[in-house]
Amino acid sequence: MMLQRPEKTEYAEFYANYVSLVKETDVVSALENQPSELQKLFGEISLAEKENFRYAEGKWSVKELLGHIIDGERVFSYRALRISRGDQTPLATFEENSYVANSNFSRSDFADLVEEFSLLRAANVLLFKSLSDEAWFRRGTASEATVSVRALAFIMVGHVRHHQNILCERYLI
């Protein structure tokens, strides 16, 4: 769907970097294309050597980074669903470090994590494709800030791109 970039009033300032990473106006196509982009990127990793690699002490491993992307996908899509349906209940903050610390990503099969993201994203693309024009512009509250469904779609694309960039810059060296 062709949508203009969300206005700055549609998301919190801490999401500005994610939104800026999305140059497309067809955000649904961008959402659709990301699983294959991630699969290609992760296919370049010598998994036996890199899947548990951390570029510094206290940083996530490659598997944990992918797990965080999956957690983000779930959280952002849940917010989009609730807000698109007109739910005005404020939604809690997503504490990513706590989520990863309490996960089992380090023991998960890497290929399963890649597939999990792809399946989640496929379901989320169907959700976004089903939205009415009106639903895209609905706003709610998440992490104590106003956010629109349109902004959440852009945030989801940008969030993945942000972590793809980190993966390339800090892990695949």
Considering the entire predicted model, what is its pTM?
A: 0.95
Chain centroid to Cα 71, Å, comes to: 8
What is the per-residue pLDDT for 42?
A: 82
Structural domain including 131 reads 8-171
Helix 62-84, helix 110-129: angle, nearest 10: 20
Distance CA 37, CA 49 (A): 21
What is the per-residue pLDDT for 172?
A: 77
> Does 3 fall in a domain?
no
Distance CA 124, CA 110 (A): 21
> Does 76 fall in a domain?
yes
pLDDT surpassing 90 at residue 2:
no
> Does 29 fall in a domain?
yes
CATH number at residue 58: 1.20.120.450
Q: What is the pLDDT of residues 60-78, one digit of tens each?
A: 999 999 999 999 999 999 9
> Does 123 fall in a domain?
yes
pLDDT band at 46 (very low <50, low <70, confident <90, very high): low
What is the per-residue pLDDT for 87?
A: 98
What is the three-state SS of the chain?
Answer: CECCCCCHHHCCHHHHHHHHCCCCCEHHHHHHHHHHHHHHHHHCCCHHHHCCCCCCCCCCCHHHHHHHHHHHHHHHHHHHHHHHCCCCCCECCCCHHHHHHCCCHHHCCHHHHHHHHHHHHHHHHHHHHCCCHHHHCCEEEECCEEEEHHHHHHHHHHHHHHHHHHHHHHHCC
**What tokens appear for 35 in the block?**
């699983």
User: Mean pLDDT score of the chain, rounded to an integer?
Assistant: 94
Q: What is the pLDDT of residues 93-103, one digit of tens each?
A: 999 999 999 99
> Does 82 fall in a domain?
yes
> Does 1 fall in a domain?
no
pLDDT surpassing 90 at residue 50:
no
pLDDT surpassing 80 at residue 45:
no
Distance CA 134, CA 94 (A): 26
pLDDT surpassing 70 at residue 47:
no
The total number of structural domains that make up the chain: 1
> Does 101 fall in a domain?
yes
